[in-house]
Structures are given as structure tokens and as C-alpha cells.
Structure 1
Amino acid sequence: MTLHQAYRWLLACYPRAYRRQYEDELLGVLLDDAAPGQRRPTARDVSALLGGAVRAHVRQVGTRFSIDAWRDAAQVLGLIAALLLFVRAARVPVLHLAMVADSYPAGIGEEFALWPGCLVAALWLVVAVSAAFGWGRAAAAIAVGGAAYEVVRVAEVYGQYSTVRNLWPAVLAAMVPLALALRAPRPVPAVLARWRLGTLAAATVVSVGAPSIAMLTGADDSTSPIYGTWIFTVGVGRVEAILLIVGYLLFALAVLSTPTALRLRLLALVVPVGVTLLLTRVGLGTTGTYLERSTHDGVLDALTWAQWSTLVLVPALLFAVAVAILHRRERPGPEQPA
């Protein structure tokens, strides 16, 4: 391989648009600066070129995510994610209140244990309402507390169980303040039609109230519980499972009915959460699989670097792939103006 070819290979690491504009100029400068008889790039040149390629890609990604469509999608994602986290946190406290209303005796210890869930549910509800009114920055600041709680809870569970099954809520919670912190050109109510906001509200009410409705109506058959990964709970009766599925379908309807540009960006933004869920719940997270932690004298060992790399790099890589596919799909053709 000649020096010219080696520099071409290194410059191929830069984004295509960057190469189109600067490649010939950079190549000329590099060859002019090369020593007589030099056959390969110096370590300094390799380091400088690869570092420049990384910076160019980061700038390009920043430019892509700065457009209005991505900012709108981030605000909508923050709202929907906050509602989903509220549903997850509020379901048990609401069921407890329904049981108390139905004259079910509750002990002081049980009531005390429910307080963290009540506070977290209230926090996510405040985040969702703030986002719905277009107060994105305030919602982002509040969401930091909820994200910190989810991370702490994952750390507690990590010390108790051999698999990492409940990592996805922490990933989703961490995305909320980041998404809502972006200043969008329009508030969420302007991005989503009123009927979509109503659909999200209905989905939230149905999902949160599913166990309470099933319990109060007495319609569930408790002798034949349903165990399912996709309803995110186990051992529920048929009525509760149906109500949960209805709630999830309403959430899906609100997302899938959005305009194409917004919908595709929303789906791309949730790729890290979906991939984390697949890794920890459906595939690698089950007993006897790759993400299971080994034990030593009855004590759980930490996840290995390979396991952590899988949990971190695979969602990030597939998110980058999703964004690249979306960008390529929306790139103007040769007959269209850029």
C-alpha cells in the first residue's frame, strides 16, 4: 500500500459530506508534508486524522439533532416516557388505595413501604404535565430526580439477583431529562393534536387503573393467572391483562398516528430502550444465558466487561444505525434540491 492509499484509507473515516469538500485539500497537504521516501503515515498523523474523524462525526450528529424535527420528537418522547414511568410507579399505590376503599385492612408497615412509589409516581406525573404544557426545561430539571431514583433502584436490584432484568426503566428515565432539555421550536400541544393528547391521557388512566378495576369489579379469574413478559407484570388475571394491553395499544396509537417525520424519529429514539429490553428480558436476560451473573461461594459476581459492553454498546450502536438509516431515507435524491 502506497502512502497515498494509506491516507485515502484514513480519510475514508470522515463523513461523506466532509470528504467531498475537504478530502483533496487534506490529501495534498499530507503528501506535501511527508518526508522523502516515506511509505506509511506517522503515528502522529494517524492519531490526528482519526481524532479529526471522530470530531467531524460528532459535529455532524449535533447538526442533525439540532433540526426542528428532532427537537419536536425529543419533546414528545419526554412526555410519553414520563407517562410510561408514571404508569409503572403508580399502579401499585393506586391498587392499594382501591383495596383500602374496598375495606381491605392495611398495616402501617405496608403503607410506609408504598410511600416511595407514591412520591416517584407524583414526580413523573408532574414531569408529564409540565411537558404537556410546554414547560420543557422545568420538566427536565424535575426529571433528573426521577432518573436518579431509577438508577439507584437498578443498583439495588443488581446486588440481589443474578440477571439484569429491569434495566430498561433506568435507560428510559435517563433519556427524559436529556430529551426535555432541548429547546423545541413548538410546545408539545402544538406538535401533537388534541386527540392524541387525549389518547395518551386515556392510555395512562387505563394502564394505571387496570389492577384496581379488575380487583374492584371482581371479574378476574384469580385461579388462572397470566404470566407474560410483554405486559411487564406476572400472575395477573385476564381482565387486568386485557386492560393493560388496551392501555399499551392506546399509547401505540398515539405514536403511530403521528406524521411520518415525527413517527420515525420517535421510533429511532426508543431504539436504545427497546434493545435493552430485548437483551435483558427476552433473550440474554433469562436464566442460564449470557447476561446471567455467576456466583462464587454463594455470592453474586459482578457482570464482566464483556457483559457490560454488550449492555452499553449494542443499544448505542443500533441507535446509531437507526439514525443513519433515517438520515439516508430522507436524503434528497439527485433530482431534488438539498
Structure 2
Amino acid sequence: MTLHQVYRWLLAGYPRAYRRQYEDELIGVLLDDAAPGQRRPAARDVLALLGGALRAHVRQVGARFSVDAWRDAAQVLGLVAALVLFVRAARVPVLHLSMFAQSYPDGIGEDFVSWPRCLVAVLWLVVAVSAGAGWGRVAAAIAVGGAAFEVVRVAEAYGQYSTVRNLWPAVLAAMVPLALALRAPRSLTATLARWRLGTLAAATLVSVGAPSVAMVTAADDSTAPIYGTWMFTVGVGRVEAILLTTGYLLFALAVLSTPTALRLRLLALVVPVGVTLLLSRVGLGTTGTFLERSSHDGVVDALTWAQWSTVALAPVVLFAVAVVILHHRERPGAHEA
């Protein structure tokens, strides 16, 4: 392999548009600087080219994510994620309050109210309201506390039971401050329209109130609970399952009814959460899964380094793939025959 070919091979790591504009010029400069008879590039040139390729890709990614469509999508994601996390944190405290109002002394123990759960529910509600009011930076700062709480809760659960079933809320919570920290070109009202904001509010109320409605109406048969991963809870009655499913469908309606450019970016942004959910709920099981975990005396073993690597890298890699597919789809001429 000649020195010219080696330099061209090293430059293959640069973005295509960059190579089209500068490849021949760079190779010419590098060959002019080479010593007579030199067959291999100097180590400093190799490092400079690899570092330049990395910086070029980072700049390209930054330029792609700085466009208005991505900023709008990040803003919407921050709002929807905060509402989902509020629903998850508030359902049990709201149920306990309903039990207290209905005078259910047998159903209320000393731990009638889990104050950390109540506080984090209020925190996520404040984040959602702040984001909806256009105070994105304030909402992002507050969301850091909620994200820290979710991460600590996952760490405690893993330390005690080696479980990662609830890893997805920590991933979602970590994305909220990052998403809301970006300054969007339009307000949420302009991006989503009032009816979608109303739909999100209705979805939140239905989902939070589902167990309380089922309890107050005494419509559920507690002896025949329904289990479903899509409900994100261990077991619920039929009425609560219907209400929860209705709430989830309303969330989906608000997101999937957005314009195509916004909708595709929202779906790409939730890929890491979806992958984490599948890995933690399905992939890292104890029987018949592709990342099967062994157990001894009913206690699940800790994750191996390979399993941790998969949990950490798979969401990032698949998110990158989703972004590449999205930009390829939207590239001018991509749909031409």
C-alpha cells in the first residue's frame, strides 16, 4: 500500500461532505510534507487525522441537532417525559389519599404517605408546568433533582436485589434536563397546539387517577388481577387496566398526531428509553432470554460486565442508528427513483 493510499484510507473516517471538499487538498499537503521514499505516515500525522475526523463528526452532529426541528422535539420530549414520570411517582400517593378520604383504615399503615415519592411527584409536576409555561432552563435545573432521585432509586434496588427492572425511568429522567436545557425556537403552545396540550393533561389525569377511581367505585375484583408489561405495574384490576391503557393511548395520540418532522424526531429520542425497557424487562430475565441471568436460592446474580456493556451501549448505538436513518430519509433526493 502506497503512502497516498494510506492517507486516503485514513481520510475515509471523515464525513463524506468534508472529504468531497478537502480530501485531495489534504492528501497533497501531506505528501508534500513527507520525506523522500517515506512509505508510512508519521505517528503525529495519524493522530492528527484521527482526531480531526472525530472533531469533524462531532461538529456535524452538533450542527444536525441544532436545527429547529430537533430543538422543538427536545422541548416536547421534556414535557411528555416529566408528565410520565409524574404519573409514575404520583399514582400510589394519590391512591393513599383516596383511601384516607374514603376512611379505609385497614389499607393505611404507618407508611401511609411515602414522603420521598410525594416530593418527587411534586417535583416532576413542577418541571412539567414550568416547561409548559416556557421556563425551559428553570425546568431543566429542577429536573436535575428528579433525575438524581431516579438514579439513586435504581442503584438502591440493584444493590439490594440485583434488579434493573426499573432502569428505564432513570434513563428517561436523565434525558429531561438535557432536553429542556436546549432553547427551542417556539413555545410549546405553538409547537403542540392547545388541543394536544389538553390531551396530555387528560392523559395525565386519567393515568394518575386510575387506581383511585377503581378503588372508590369498588369496581375491580382484586382476586383476579391483570398483569401486563404495558401497564408498568405488577397487577391491577380490570377497570384500572382500562383507565391506564386509555391514559397511555392519549399520550400516544398527542405524540403521534404531531407533524411528521417532529414526530419522527420524538420517536428517535425515545429509542434509548424503549431499548432500556426491553432489555431490563425482557432481555435480562432468568429463563430463556438472550441475556439470561442465573440465580442461586432464588436470588438473581449481579449483571456481568458483558450484560452491563450491552445495557449501556445498546441504547446509544440504536439511537445513533435511528438518527442516521432519519437524516437519510429526509436527505434531498432520498425518495427519488
TM range (shorter): over 0.9
5+ residue gaps, structure 1: none
Asked if the contact 2:221/2:238 (under 8 Å) is kept, the reply is yes
Aligned-partner Cα distance in 2 for 1:311–1:200: 30
Backbone CA RMSD of aligned residues: 2.1
Give the structure 2 partner of residue 185 of structure 1: 185
Aligned-partner Cα distance in 2 for 1:309–1:35: 44
Is 1:27 aligned with 2:4?
no
Give the structure 1 partner of residue 314 of structure 2: 314
Give the structure 2 partner of residue 64 of structure 1: 64
AA of the residue aligned to 1:274: G
Shift of the alpha carbon at 1:39?
2.3
- Using the size of structure 1 for normalisation, the TM-score is 0.93
Give the structure 2 partner of residue 83 of structure 1: 83
Q: 1:232 to 1:280 in 2, by over 3 A?
A: same
Aligned-partner Cα distance in 2 for 1:38–1:214: 79
Asked if the contact 1:95/1:212 (under 8 Å) is kept, the reply is yes
Asked if the contact 2:207/2:247 (under 8 Å) is kept, the reply is yes
Give the structure 2 partner of residue 161 of structure 1: 161
AA of the residue aligned to 2:223: T
Give the structure 2 partner of residue 5 of structure 1: 5
Give the structure 1 partner of residue 273 of structure 2: 273
Q: 1:133 to 1:228 in 2, by over 3 A?
A: same
Shift of the alpha carbon at 1:8?
1.3
Give the structure 1 partner of residue 286 of structure 2: 287
Q: 1:56 to 1:210 in 2, by over 3 A?
A: same
SS at match of 2:14: coil
Aligned-partner Cα distance in 1 for 2:151–2:304: 19
Q: How do 1:32-51 residues align onto structure 2 when only pairs under 5 Å count?
A: 32-51=32-51
Give the structure 2 partner of residue 103 of structure 1: 103
SS at match of 1:235: strand
Q: 1:44 to 1:302 in 2, by over 3 A?
A: farther
Give the structure 2 partner of residue 326 of structure 1: 326
**Structure 1 range deviating more: 248-257 or 184-193:** 184-193
Asked if the contact 1:163/1:287 (under 8 Å) is kept, the reply is no
SS at match of 2:100: helix
Aligned-partner Cα distance in 2 for 1:329–1:123: 38
Aligned residues: 334
**Structure 1 range deviating more: 17-26 or 296-305:** 296-305
Q: 1:233 to 1:295 in 2, by over 3 A?
A: closer
Fraction of identical pairs, as percent: 83
Asked if the contact 2:65/2:71 (under 8 Å) is kept, the reply is yes
Give the structure 1 partner of residue 197 of structure 2: 197
Aligned-partner Cα distance in 1 for 2:12–2:171: 33
Shift of the alpha carbon at 1:73?
0.7
Aligned-partner Cα distance in 2 for 1:40–1:224: 73
Is 1:209 aligned with 2:232?
no
Shift of the alpha carbon at 1:30?
1.5
Shift of the alpha carbon at 1:5?
1.7
Instruction: Tell me the alpha carbon deviations over residues 42-89 of structure 1, each in whole angstroms, 9 at most, x when there is no partner.
Output: 333222211111111111111111111111111000000000000000
Aligned-partner Cα distance in 1 for 2:302–2:53: 35
**Structure 1 range deviating more: 234-243 or 247-256:** 234-243
Q: How do 1:241-280 residues align onto structure 2 when only pairs under 5 Å count?
A: 241-280=241-280
Aligned-partner Cα distance in 1 for 2:281–2:303: 16
SS at match of 2:231: coil
Q: 1:224 to 1:321 in 2, by over 3 A?
A: same
- Using the size of structure 2 for normalisation, the TM-score is 0.94
